[in-house]
Every structure is written in C-alpha cells, then in structure tokens.
A = this chain, B = another copy of it.
Amino acid sequence: MDRRGFLSVAGGALLLCTIDGKQVAVRTPEDVERVDAAMASLRRPKSRRPRREPARDPLDSASFARPEPQPGGQLREYWIAARPVRWNVAPNGDDQWMGRAAPRPSRFTALVYQRYTAGFAEPMSAPRMPGPTLRAEVGDVIAVHFRNMGTGRYAQPLTVHPHGVRYTPDYDGAYLGDFTRVGGFVEPGEEFTYFWEATPDSVGVWPYHDHGPNHTLNSFRGLFGTIIVKERGEPIPDVERVLWMHSFSPQVTGIPRLIHCINGRTYAGNTPTIRAKVGQSVALHAIGGDSSWHTFHIHGHRWRDASGAWVDNPGFGPNEVVTAAFVEDNPGRWLYHCHVFTHQDMGMAGWYMVDP
C-alpha cells in the first residue's frame, strides 16, 4: 500500500489531531499511531489553572449542585464501559441489495460503549454500535457510571458527552484543555459517574459520544450512542429503532477504502434488518455520525416532519436527528437508504420487512 496514496485512493476526509500542543494532519496509518501514542501519554489537565492570565474566570472555579430527579421521577442508572473490540462491518459477507459479495477486508479494531450489569459485573449483551440506548422520561435523572476500559493503543482518556439532556459543567463530558472539569478526562482504568437531567425541553432523540482530547478519531471508531427522552407516561412505539448513518475512514480502519455504514455495518444484510407488522406504530430515528450530510429514505412510506409536511427523504447533518414515525400500512420487502448516491452505493442501505 502506497502510504502517500492511502487517503486519495480511499476518498477519506482530512482528520486533525493535537500532539504536544500542535495540530497535525492525520493521513496515514503511521499518523494515526503517532496520535494514539500521544493521546495515551497525555497528562490530566490542571483544572482551573488556565495557562494564560487573561483567560482566568470565576466560572472556572464555581461549584454546581448534582441534579436530583423531580418529584415522581426516577434515577435511571446505566453502567457503560468504553472498550476496544474487533469489529466486522459485514459479518454476513454479502451486499444483498446488489446480490454480490461485500468488499474485503471488513475487520478492524473499533471502540464501543458497552452496557454492563450493576458494578460492571458482566456485559449485558454483545458489543454493539451504537452503544446502549439510554431512556428517560421528563423529571428523571440518568446516571451513567462510565468506566474507561481502553487498552493497548486505545489506552487514552475518554468521556461521554450527551446532547439534549441538561447537565452542569461537571457532567458535560468535554475535554476543554486547561478548563477541563473532572468528567472531561477519564483515564484508562478510571470510573466516573455522569448525572444528566431529562427536562421538558429534553423530549426527543439525541446522540451521545466521546468528547475527550481525541474525540474525532475515537467517535469515528464507534464511541457513540443514543438518548431517548419521552414525556412522562408516553408510550414507546411498537417498533422503535435508532439508525446511525456514518462512515469509517481509512484512518480509523487501516482499510484503504471509505466504508459507509448504518449502526457500524455496511450493505443490506449486514446493516439492521428492521421488521414490523401492518398496524404497528413505528418510529425510526436516523442520526448523522460522521462529517457528512445524509438523507433517510424508506421505500413505500411517507411521514410528517416536525413542521407537519409530508416527507420520505429528509436530510440531516452530523449529530442531527430525524424521525420517521407512522402507523405501518404497507407490507413488503422495502429498502431504506441514504439518498446520497455515492453513500448508498458504498453500503448505506438496509432492509425494512413489513408483514401483513
């Protein structure tokens, strides 16, 4: 493999990381190794000690109360670990849409959020992409007990940064250089508990993802998941699925091609096959997970967007969410896919099976 040609062959996007206080472009597998090594040796920032005088601010030393559930609300606890796993983007080996073999190779070492039983006693399921869906109702508090199980080259500070829910700066989960608070830098082997409130303006579907010092590379490796907040007592649809539309670039996989995915898998038969039945309430939430814009198209179906207009192919950007909600009425084998032609042809498609 010609190193200089790595990205141009693969159509990969430019990635940037910071090493020793300098920004570097990440183009080749060696660049990625250097970044990972630098991140693994990064020291914990001295919080509340900005490196320049003018940047100091009383807010950086302020304390914030830990949120409590509202009367009638619950504390919803999750034990979630970030850990490396061998990942196969095409475990069935096929592109069932086009009736052909999926491109090879298809394996690399990903990073995922995996759910555990209380106290990290044991995993609750096989590793998945996206990570566990966190559910809450208005008035609840979500507690994410997060353990960084990064090892080897992935022994780097990691975090969990949520969208949609309310949190104080301590639970933001964002690395902020000299202004980093404790939840923004969780070192390998460490645990940290995030507390997030489901407020009335949290109703909806939201992403969470790594926001540590190596956030772009590690989010692109698989560190993302979903939060669903409903009104109190609001029913869950009969079929409710989250579909992350994203890609693995060569920098992430070491594979010299761009791999377009839904939930970490590529091509129909590997991507989620969703099954519903006529009469069921269905809600499919599509979320952008890379640096591109995507659309979400389901054959044979239409639904109202947030403004009330009928759509069958809405667009959305990175970490934006669109929801296709309808009562199922059209049986058959249907294709769902991103309508960016180059994305669908590189694997961003799947089956939606509707029984009569």
Contacts and interface: CB of A to CB of B under 8 A. Distances in A.
A51 B97 CA distance: 11
Interface stretch (A75-83, A145-153, A308-316): A308-316
A332 interface: yes
22 contacts: A17-B345, A21-B100, A51-B99, A57-B333, A59-B353, A59-B355, A62-B356, A95-B177, A97-B176, A163-B297, A168-B330, A169-B332, A172-B299, A176-B333, A179-B333, A201-B303, A201-B304, A202-B310, A216-B342, A220-B341, A315-B318, A318-B341
A16 B342 contact: yes
A128 B22 CA distance: 28
User: Lowest 7 CB-CB distances: which A-B pairs, in order?
Assistant: A99-B177, A315-B317, A21-B100, A169-B332, A307-B307, A306-B307, A306-B309
A291 interface: yes
Interface of A: 11, 13-18, 21-23, 45, 50-52, 55, 57, 59-60, 62, 64, 94-101, 103, 161, 163-164, 166-169, 172, 174, 176-179, 201-204, 206, 213, 215-216, 219-220, 269, 290-291, 293-295, 297, 299-300, 302-320, 330-335, 339-343, 345-346, 353-356
A300 B94 CA distance: 42
Nearest to A318: B339
A332 B99 CA distance: 54
B97 A345 contact: no
Contact of A339 (B50, B300, B317, B342): B317
A145 B45 CA distance: 51
Contact of A269 (B45, B55, B339, B343): B55
A333 B59 contact: yes
A220 B55 CA distance: 30
Given A59-B331, A59-B332, A219-B341, 10 more contacts: A16-B346, A23-B103, A57-B353, A161-B299, A164-B302, A172-B332, A174-B299, A179-B333, A306-B308, A318-B339
A333 B335 CA distance: 44
A319 B313 CA distance: 7
A97 B177 CA distance: 5
Residue among A14, A16, A64, A302 facing the most chain B CB atoms (10 A cut-off): A302
